Copies of this chain bind each other. A is one copy, B any other.
């Protein structure tokens, strides 16, 4: 972990800059995959699966039998934990639902309102690999179901045996995912964006993935499919001070470091000695981790800043706009009021970031790479769209009609004006 010395904001920003993502070189490969699936449907998906995953299951769709069997394979303790997490995630996301429609009379006889409606068809991508991210199934399928999405399609790459990890399948069944497909990579994104004979075309695609998945999501997004948000490496900022328990702060920093070599972690602390103490403790804990190699490497690339005080720490994290922000100070609850750029904030010494990753109730799909300046983490809005409605009475059009006529004429849009004029007659 290196220390950033800065004399002004620009210098801090320059020194804490994330590395630029290198994805341009794979764009042609991904474009070709998208075109093949668009033109060839299921047949192309199978050919690409065979090519990239080395084997291809006969049926892309997971059967009810496979889902039922997966359920039997998940240990009871894990099931119990998942049900607890599900309960908390449901409670928090349900609380975000618009309670009732508010009708506003803007002028006499003119009533406007907004109604949130679930997106009819959504797609969820769950990466494969050694550690199956079943927790992401919870974070995506629970709000989709609560939003009233009618079709929830899930794609995940088949393992060598041709099946999907049983905990992922258990969660999909538990949460009402409509269809689970054994498809991974850019071909999965293409299948959901364009639809095939068996994969339904969806309107919005959610979920993490490797570089190919990320680029595929970007490309389909620039044509007709919505996506959740731009993807980047995981990030965490910890704000600590004199009173912070270094064991907790170090553990939080490392929890993000283990994600990957490109993880971004920053420590903001108001004293040099506490900084040293936390780094020393982190190096001690590092040695005990199974994923030590990855965590050590990204810890090395991480930074610490010694700030004037806790307010300065929050101010700098607002400039950096981290995905996760842990405020582990005595005045954490007050400091949290000053946060304007962050994905999710963890307040106080017991609020570790991994609580939000799994079970406290908040969503773990969050904006990275300073996208928190403009993007929200996933929430109920992500699975719904808001439609506006208006009724206008005869009195209403008489009230605002002349203003519309004047404005439309000034914009030289006479047919717009005329739609009012015929009604005022």
Chain A 80-121 interface mask (CB, 8 Å, partner B; 1/0)? 111011011001100110000010101100101010010111
Asked, given contacts A340-B120, A387-B342, whether A361 binds B416 with beta carbons under 8 Å apart, the answer is: no
Q: Contact between A131 and B411 (Cβ–Cβ < 8 Å)?
A: yes
Q: Residues of B contacting A387 with CB < 8 Å?
A: 339, 342-345, 372, 376-377
The verdict on A261 contacting chain B, using a C-beta distance below 8 Å, is no
The stretch among A65-73, A184-192, A285-293, A308-316 that forms the contact with chain B is: A285-293
Asked, given contacts A255-B418, A411-B135, A419-B251, whether A406 binds B78 with beta carbons under 8 Å apart, the answer is yes
A340 to B80, CA, bound (A): 37
CA distance A253 to B423 in the complex (A): 14
Known: A224-B371, A352-B419. A347 touches B391 (CB 8 A): yes
Q: Which residues of the other chain, B, contact A156 by a CB distance below 8 angstroms?
A: none
Residues 370 to 390 of chain A near chain B (Cβ within 8 Å): 370-377, 379, 381, 384-390
Q: Confirm or deny: A61 has a beta carbon within 8 angstroms of a beta carbon on chain B.
A: no
In the assembled complex, which residues on chain B have CB atoms less than 8 Å from the CB atom of A350? Answer: 392-394, 396-397, 423
Chain B nearest CB from A384 CB (Å) reads: 8
Identify the closest chain B residue to A363 (Cβ): B388
User: 0/1 per residue, A394-423, Cβ < 8 Å to B?
Assistant: 101100101110111011111111111011
Interface residues of A (CB under 8 A from B): 77-78, 80-82, 84-85, 87-88, 91-92, 95-96, 102, 104, 106-107, 110, 112, 114, 117, 119-121, 130-135, 167, 203-204, 218, 221-222, 224-226, 230, 247-248, 251-252, 254-255, 257-259, 285, 288-291, 295, 333, 336, 339-363, 367, 369-377, 379, 381, 384-394, 396-397, 400, 402-404, 406-408, 410-420, 422-423
With A120-B341, A411-B133 as known contacts, state yes or no: A360 contacts B106, CB within 8 Å. yes
Q: Is the CB of A360 within 8 A of B226?
A: no
Q: Is the CB of B130 within 8 A of A412?
A: yes
With a CB–CB cut-off of 8 A, which chain B residues contact A373? 119-121, 203, 385
Q: How far, in whole Å, are A353 and B389 apart by their CA atoms in the complex?
A: 11
In the complex the two chains form, what is the Cα distance from A422 to B289 in whole Å?
13
The residue from B87, B381, B414 contacting A258, defined by CB atoms under 8 A apart: B414
- Give the nearest-CB partner of A366 in chain B: B388
| From B222, B347, B404, contact of A358 by CB (8 A) | B404
| A224 to B33 Cα, complex, angstroms | 25
Q: Are A135 and B419 in contact (CB under 8 A)?
A: no
Contact A418 B251 (CB under 8 A): yes
Determine the distance from Cα of A410 to Cα of B112 in the docked complex, in whole angstroms. Answer: 49
What are the residues of chain B within 8 A of A251 when measuring CB–CB?
415, 418-419, 422-423
Give chain B residues whose Cβ lies under 8 Å from the Cβ of A352: 392, 397, 419-420, 423
Q: Are A388 and B400 in contact (CB under 8 A)?
A: no
- Closest 4 A-B residue pairs measured CB to CB? A106-B361, A81-B403, A226-B374, A88-B106
